[in-house]
Structure 1
Amino acid sequence: MNTTHTKAPAIENLFFNWRPLWLIFFLLVTVFLGSQALQVKPEASFEKLIPLSHPYIENFMERQNDLRGLGNAVRLAVTVKDPSQDIFTAEYMERLQQVYDEVRFLPGVDQSAVRSLWDPAVRWTQVTEEGFEGGTVIPDTYDASQESLDTLRENVLKSGQVGILIANDFRSTIVLAPLVDSVDGQPLDYQAFSHALEDIRAALSDEQFDIRIIGFAKLVGDLIDGATQVAFFFVIALGITFVLLFLYSRCFKSSIIPLVCSVIAVIWQLGLLKLMGYGLDPYSMLVPFLVFAIAVSHGVQVINAMAIEASHGHDRLTAARLAFRGLYVAGILALVSDAIGFMTLLFIDIQVIQELAIAAALGVAVIILTNLVLLPLLMSYLGVGKTSVIRAERKRQETSELWHRVSFFSHKSVAPWSLLAALLLGVMGFVGSTNLQIGDLDEGAPELRPDSRYNLDNAYITRNYATSADVLVVMVETPEQACVSYEALEAVDRLEWQMRNVEGVQGSMSPAYITKRVIAGFNEGNLKWETLSRNQFVLNQAMSNLPAGMINNQCDLLPVILYLEDHKADTLVRVTRAVEAFAAENNSEHARFMLAAGSAGIEAATNEEIARAQTFMLIFVYAVVAALVFITFRSWRAVICIVAPLGLTSVLCQALMAQLGIGVKVATLPVIALGVGIGVDYGIYIYSRLRQYLREGENLQDAYYHTLRSTGKAVSFTGLTLAIGVGTWVFSPIKFQADMGILLTFMFLWNMIGALWLLPAFARYLLKDPSKA
């Protein structure tokens, strides 16, 4: 009787005694989940990207219907290409009307809130000897004649829209289109909406006119289009990994089967996501690629272990059993650590990050079955090639000069210097990481390349319009029907004056500001009357002239619109703190100041949520990983040996982010948890094998040398393979994908280096050396 089989643990017999049934099971599940995976589509949602439980967002969502146009909206700038021409031509006005009409009837656009020169709600007003006069900017009598164009020019100058809907140089105008969250009960398809905007651009742009488009929906659409190119990187990674595996194993079967099992893991993940009702947004588009990379790393460990066992003369089935037996504890521990590490992202109250966490954890969980179970089952029939076995046997018998030198990291004369060097690197990294900032650090859309069409359009609109696209709205709540009271308006006026003097505020607009202008207009335009009157009848009359959006039906909300110079993290912190300080001193029964609406207000809330969760998430993921390591190895020494190198990598990664100008935001925050979760695999595999050799009575350096020749070789290979794979993301047209590629490449390499370099140095002082017993 084969004692290898009789001494096998129950979990091994469960799989290997019923191999045909399990393979049929895997085949059926793969076919079913594959059919589901084909139905997964890219998706995105405005609400998924914002922290819905943050006080700013709760205030905004409660008042969303009263603030149409100040949340999710797109802006189309219809521009004149000829520098010698302006907008006051019949051809331009006809083209603007075409754009206005096309945009209004796009699915997802709030038709009643669309603003353009052609919109009847856009009016002009002037003060005359007889009082106010006004009308629509484009009059009903407009007939494209030179006379009507001259009238249009006069109306534009009197409208107060120059710098808002009309460019400062009169060579473009804006079509502002607020969006709704759903169409016919279904969430707005941002990719389809973005494509519809591109269709308008293509149809109505020519040698005379151009259309520039910005807004959340357009940005997300561009992100989805760019992120779908991850399939290209996936194919490149497949090719690179296959080549590296073949060079490593010199066996076609040993190269292709781990890839097949890793692809099956991705298929299972996507199929399960579909069954759970999830899709893939631009931020989680790379998760299947990451799952593939993790699966390959564990597959290499299996193939490496089988080759070693086969070199000892074991048949295919026995080699597969022994490989499974030697790896399943460490493998399951590593993958469970990965999954729980990813699940810590659920503590961040931003749905897109939470869905990324679920997708990553689900993918890692299925690897336990596809690469720790299915792979050895398949290899028990196929076996590793003779060339691979002969090569493994030769390598086992030869002395490796490289690994012999690396084993000196565990030597008593080298270990203290290694720990000292790690301490110095840690201090340097900590000092460098103090410059790490929360949020965006660049103008425009940092998720895209600076030379992307979107960022070029954003730069044009920012440069040619007085009012920035970065809008922060302070909501001033009053008792119902009391928004016209002097006390409320006077408080708003003081807030506006104070905020105009805050660095980063470009300009402002509020009902109080407009009311003062109207009161001056009632008094022949005399500037000394441009103030708030205590006479309620005067205020009532002035407030009746407010434009749409500045007053709601209940008359219990006064929006103060702040136009910011940019949406950088420092600017948002400075402005929101100034508003909060003012609110703390001036909140009363007449007016209560609440943050925040507008694109900048939403981003400020997102930054605060990330800042709140960042440290907690990092502590939690390390605590969970440490607890799992302790439970598995029953040793606090094992925890230090495995987890301490990961801590150095995290500190150095944050310093790298600060150096490269990468802020901590929705796109980059998950990298920290991903890096820790994946990096722990290296340490677990090395420590597990090192402990085994120490128990067999070898001294520390010899034990580490033999660990390097087996597991260490696979760890170094997988670390380099993972780094090369994610390194291809650097060429992505989506900047945040490129940033993730840089950071993950760095973490994969440093986690590998830490496991090979620092783990034995800690082991020198923490583990018992049998030779000294």
Structure 2
Amino acid sequence: RNRFAGSVDVVVETSPVDVHMIGFAKVIGDIAQGAGRVLIFFIVAFAITALFLYVYSSSFRLTVTVLACSLVAVIWQLGALSALGFGIDPMGILVPFLVFAIAVSHGVQMITSVRAELIGGAEDALIATRMGCRRLIVPGVVALLSDTVGFMTILLIKIQVIREMAITASLGVATIILTNLVLLPVLVTYLTVTDDYRAKLRARVEMTAGLWRRVARVAERGPATVVVAVALVLLVFGAWKARDIKIGDLHSGVPELRSDSRYNIDTAVITEKFSIGVDILSVIVETKEEGCIDYDVMDTVDRFEWHMRNVPGVQSVIALPGIARILNSGWNEGAPSFRVLPRNQSVLVQSVAYVPTSTGLLNEDCSVMPVMMFTADHKAETIETIVAEVKAFNAEFGREDLQFRLATGNVGVMAATNEAVSAAQFPMLIYVFSAIILLCLIGFRSLRGTLCVVIPLALVSLLAYALMTLLEIGLKVSTLPVVALGVGIGVDYGIYIYSRILNYPGYYRKGRPLHEAYARALTVAGNGVLFTGVTLAVGVCTWIFSPLKFQADMGILLTFMFLVNMLGALFLLPALAAFLLGRQGEETE
């Protein structure tokens, strides 16, 4: 393919003839070429993450330890996939990015917990790690299980490529449980802690303490009211825009590639100048044996062909009755008056006898006659219109011995996929949120605390749909799992922050104001939560520059969800807690 494409490029550059290539082999080659560049994005994301991690940890050894454990998680994930007989397609190739980012973010929470113990007076790394793990084990397990469950719910979608991505992601998070909650703490215990390092950590905490004290004021009733009011406005805006989200593609051209790609430019030229293209929908006409020599059957199919030819979005239609009319005219010296379907069965036999089954217009016994439609594009609106017209025609003219079945061809597959996506979107979110609520109830034993964690997630999910509407990103195979992934990972912020608040009984459970407990929690964990959000965003934001459109869309949406979920955990969670928990802590109910 590369040699052929290169030869064509040479012809284009050295000849006045315009050469445009379309077809399945060409588009698969372009997708594979674009997917190969993902390694560059991984290297860039790794370098940026390493730099941020070093700045945050102030330790080269600690940085290497966290990065090594994160890479081990990715390697184990890829090995497990290979052992189970799975591969990675262009859509799933981004999952290792995600696993690496999740591993680093949870590693940051671990070193944050260890640093807090060192600042608090722990003698060495062993004691600090032991005490830090005790505080982190419950929220860490709940957070990672939430990630896993969020990915596993995607298996409920009856689309194979999405199920494979769910398996890939679930295996990755399962390996993180081992690397971050077992391997990383063991390795950290071997690190040497000097007095200079302790002093550096204390100075870092004191430097940001003022900022976090100001942020903590959102846990007071006055500022909390403003935050909740803003959240309500965003809720209304999100619900308003989310109603307009479309199922399927919203742009012409191959959806996997950008609109300015060579392939999509060639497709636009061919579609504009000819009555063909790359988008085909074939309706399968099922009838009795030898239906192609029955005038009533052929006449109904001919009417269907004419009807669909006049549907907006259909460029041309090819079916057996149309060919039979041309052949009948040919048998009569090409007279235009004979370009009709002959009512006489013997003449009709003569008109279809020379149409071979290799044309794809009939089978051996004439019980199946596909009607091929070339569409102007595969936009969601175009597909919906065509499918609705086919169903309406079948409902009106279909009978026991004649049915118009949907559909084959790439547009037919898209139509079926769009229906599957539409049916799966709401059940998937219900399963994800149900699982997260259950895990939070088990981990925190508090309904009000669970609501504080889950409500910001629901708001961000709604805003993600609104963003898709604003950016004209349709809900399709590549974007449907994004919300589930974002929710499953975004819950980590709330879990870690809420668990930190519970770790200060002197401030929270004995009647002191909630904002004091939150200020103390942020002083220790605020930097970690902020860095976690940035780390996750950096891990996926490089996808935005991918030559593959669906990878860029996933990068935009995941970056948005990671950052906004972080803001929701830092501001909306404590604001809700100010109303739901009140002045005195209510850890259990």
TM-score tier (shorter): over 0.9
Q: Does the residue aligned with 1:400 lie in a helix, a strand or coil?
A: helix
| Matched AA of 1:207 | T
1:409 is matched with 218
Q: Measure the CA separation in 2 of the matches of 1:210 and 1:772.
A: 73
Structure-2 residue corresponding to 1:348? 157
**Alignment partner for residue 720 of structure 1, among 528, 534, 544?**
534
Distance 1:386 1:727, change over 3 A: farther
Q: Matches of 2:522 and 2:219 in 1, distance apart?
A: 12
Shift of 1:198: 3.4
- In structure 1, distance between residues paired with 2:422 and 2:196: 54
- 1:499 aligns to 2:280 (yes or no): no
Letter in 1 for 2:500: R
> Which of 486, 509, 513 is the matching residue for 2:295?
486
Compared CA separation, residues 621 and 374, structure 1 to 2 (3 A)? same
Which stretch shows the higher mean deviation, 349-358 or 585-594?
Answer: 585-594
The partner residue of 1:297 within 102, 105, 109 is 105
Taking the aligned partners of 1:232 and 1:468, their CA distance within structure 2 comes to 34
Residue identity opposite 2:397 in structure 1: N
Tell me the equivalent position of 2:396. Answer: 585
Give the superposition deviation at 1:206. 6.8
Tell me, in whole angstroms, the C-alpha distance in 1 between the residues paired with 2:156 and 2:364: 38
Q: CA deviation at 1:305?
A: 1.2
Aligned partner of 2:363 in structure 1 is 552
Once the two structures are superposed, residues 671-708 of structure 1 have per-residue CA deviations (whole angstroms, 9 ceiling, x without a partner) of: 11111011000000001111222236542011000111
Aligned residue among 596, 607, 630 for 2:407: 596
* Residue identity opposite 2:535 in structure 1: T
- Mapping of 1:634-645 within 5 angstroms? 634-645=445-456
CA distance, structure 2, for counterparts of residue 604 and residue 407 of structure 1: 50
Report how far residue 211 of structure 1 moved.
4.8
Q: Is 1:321–2:130 an aligned residue pair?
A: yes
Which of these two proteins has the greater Rg computed from alpha carbons? Answer: 1
Equivalences for residues 63-82 of structure 1 within 5 A: none
Taking a change above 3 Å as real, the CA distance of residues 725 and 589 of structure 1, as seen in their structure-2 partners, is: closer
Matching residue within 26, 31, 36 for 1:223: 31
Equivalences for 1:663-742 in 2 at 5 Å?
A: 663-693=474-504, 694-695=508-509, 698-742=512-556
What TM-score do the two structures reach when normalised by structure 2? 0.94
State the shift of 1:199 in Å: 6.2
Alpha-carbon distance in 1 for matches of 2:443, 2:529: 20
CA distance in 2, matches of 1:772, 1:341: 28
Task: Please state if 1:618 is matched with 2:429.
Answer: yes
Q: What is the deviation of 1:393?
A: 2.7
- Paired residue type of 1:364: V
Partner Cα distance (2:394, 2:125) in 1: 74
Q: Distance in 2 between matches of 1:359 and 1:698?
A: 46
SS of equivalent residue, structure 2 residue 503 = helix
The verdict on how the C-alpha distance between 1:460 and 1:386 changes in structure 2, with shifts beyond 3 A counting, is farther
Instruction: Identify if the C-alpha distance between structure 1 residues 771 and 367 changes in structure 2 by more than 3 Å, giving closer, same or farther.
Output: closer
Q: Are positions 1:531 and 2:531 aligned together?
A: no
Structure 2 counterpart of 1:452:
261
Q: Deviations over 1:698-733 (max 9, x none)?
A: 420110001111122201111122223322222222
In 1, Cα distance between the equivalents of 2:192 and 2:581?
36
Distance in 1, Cα, partners of 2:193 & 2:96: 28
Conserved in 2, the CA contact under 8 Å of 1:308 and 1:393? Answer: no
Q: Partner letter of residue 23 of structure 2?
A: G
Q: CA deviation at 1:481?
A: 2.7
Residue correspondence of structure 1 range 18-37 to structure 2 within 5 A: none
Per-residue CA distance 1:637-668 (angstroms, 9 max, x = gap): 12210010011111111111111111111111
Of 402-411 and 383-392, more deviation after overlay is shown by 383-392
* Cα distance, 1:214 vs structure 2: 2.1
**8 A contact 2:73–2:175 mirrored in 1:** yes
- 1:387, CA displacement in angstroms? 4.2
In 2, distance between residues paired with 1:359 and 1:747?
21
Please name the residue that 2:118 is paired with.
310
| Structure 1 counterpart SS, 2:434 | helix
> Cα offset for 1:587?
1.9
Deviations 1:26-65 (A, max 9, x none): xxxxxxxxxxxxxxxxxxxxxxxxxxxxxxxxxxxxxxxx
Q: Distance in 1 between matches of 2:412 and 2:482?
A: 25
**Secondary structure in structure 2 of the residue aligned to 1:770:** coil
1:256 is the counterpart of 2:67:
no
Equivalents in 1 of 2:64, 2:511: separation in Å?
Answer: 37
Please state which structure has a larger fraction of its residues in helix: 2
Of the three residues 266, 269, 275, the one matched with 2:83 is 275
Mapped partners of 2:70, 2:499: distance in 1: 23
Q: Is contact 2:270-2:276 (8 Å) kept?
A: no
Q: Residue 579 of structure 2 aligns with which residue?
A: 765
Indicate conservation of the 8 Å contact 2:224/2:576, yes or no: yes
1:287 is paired with a residue of what secondary structure? Answer: helix
Q: Distance in 2 between matches of 1:469 and 1:399?
A: 57
Displacement after TM superposition at 1:460 (Å)? 2.6
Aligned twin of 2:440? 629
Question: Could you say what the CA RMSD is over the residues aligned between the two structures, in angstroms?
Answer: 2.0
Distance 1:383 1:211, change over 3 A: farther
Deviation, structure 1 residue 324: 1.2
Write the distance in 1 (CA, Å) between the matches of 2:525 and 2:333: 87
Output the amino acid matched with 1:376: P
1:241, distance to aligned residue in structure 2 (A): 1.2
Q: Hey, what's the Cα distance between the residues in 2 that align with 1:386 and 1:292?
A: 32
1:70-92: per-residue Cα shift (whole Å, max 9, x none)?
xxxxxxxxxxxxxxxxxxxxxxx
Contact 1:254 1:384 in 2 (8 A): no
Q: Following TM superposition, by how much is the alpha carbon of 1:492 offset from its aligned partner in structure 2, in angstroms?
A: 0.2
Shift of 1:374: 0.7
**1:41-60 alignment runs, 5 A limit:** none
Deviation at 1:634, TM superposition (A): 1.6
* C-alpha separation in 2, matches of 1:444 and 1:760: 46
CA spacing shift, 1:429–1:399, aligned 2, 3 Å: closer
C-alpha distance in structure 1 between counterparts of 2:577 and 2:338, whole Å: 81
Partner residue, 1:128: none
Bigger relative CO (Cα 8 Å, ≥ 6 apart): 2
Asked whether the 8 Å contact 1:253–1:384 carries over to 2, the reply is no
Deviation at 1:212, TM superposition (A): 3.3
Aligned-partner SS, 2:365: coil
Instruction: Give 2:380's aligned residue.
Output: 569
CA distance in 1: counterparts of 2:540 and 2:149, whole angstroms: 22
Asked if the contact 1:730/1:738 (under 8 Å) is kept, the reply is yes
Q: Which residue identity lines up with residue 431 of structure 2 in the other structure?
A: F
Q: Percent identity?
A: 49
Report the AA paired with residue 378 of structure 2.
Answer: H
Deviations 1:255-278 (A, max 9, x none): 221111101110010010000101
Name which of 262, 270, 273 aligns with 1:461.
270
SS at match of 1:413: helix
Query: Which secondary structure does the structure 2 equivalent of 1:446 belong to?
Result: coil
Query: 1:638 and 1:571, CA in 2 relative to 1: closer, same or farther beyond 3 A?
Result: same
Work out the CA distance in 2 between the residues paired with 1:661 and 1:640. 32
Aligned equivalent of 1:754: 568
Residue 468 of structure 1 aligns to a residue whose secondary structure is: coil
Aligned length in residues: 580
Residues 550 and 559 in structure 1, CA contact (< 8 A), matched pair in contact too = yes
Q: Single out whichever of 706-715 and 677-686 deviates more from structure 2.
A: 706-715
Please report how far the alpha carbon of residue 527 of structure 1 lies from its aligned counterpart in structure 2 after TM superposition. Answer: 2.8
Which moves more between the two structures, 379-388 or 252-261? 379-388
1: distance between equivalents of 2:554 and 2:585?
45
